[in-house]
Amino acid sequence: MRAVVLGIGNTILTDEAAGVRAVEALEQAYSMPANVLVIDGGTSGMEMIEDLSNLDFLIVIDVVKTGAAPGTLVKIAGEDIPVFFRSKLSPHQIALPDVLASLELLDTMPKEIIVLGVEPISLELGMEMTATVAARVPQLAAMAADELIRRGYMLEALALAVA
């Protein structure tokens, strides 16, 4: 069973950094087993194809624009995933839809995909997230850990982890 947790976002656009910061928080809080890869995808695209091929489970963490209240945590799964990727819910809209389309064409799509996200407040140029979204980063990391654990991945909480 192979899994990837992919945090995407642009760290110089305030709240857009939430996905990247969430995977950093996940790595600080848990020791991952060999079959779980945590990737800071930044604003990457097609270069991720190899890492995302033939997975059992893919978690994508990002900011998402759904119209919910700012700071709202969102989980998108199952039949809603194709709808998510057809709509421009992620403001930077890295080439992830193209990567997934390529994986499908290559017949190497992950068996299961979920998107964990937070509704942004600001996407302005700046290195600091808003306090509301920054407060959701540990929650996003915990949500990703819970999803992995529920599927039988053996994460080990680190003693120095701060929730």
Residue 36 lies in a domain: yes
Average pLDDT over residues 88-100: 62
Structural domain count, the chain: 1
Closest Cα partner for 99 from 91, 109, 90, 89? Answer: 109
pLDDT of residue 94: 52
- Mean pLDDT of the residues in the chain: 88
Looking at residue 26, which CATH number applies to its domain? 3.40.50.1450
65: domain range?
3-157
pLDDT of residue 119: 95
Residue 85 lies in a domain: yes
Residue 163 lies in a domain: no
Residue 146 lies in a domain: yes
Residue 99 lies in a domain: yes
Closest Cα partner for 13 from 112, 116, 128? Answer: 128
Residue 26 lies in a domain: yes
Residue 162 lies in a domain: no
State percent of the chain over pLDDT 90.
64
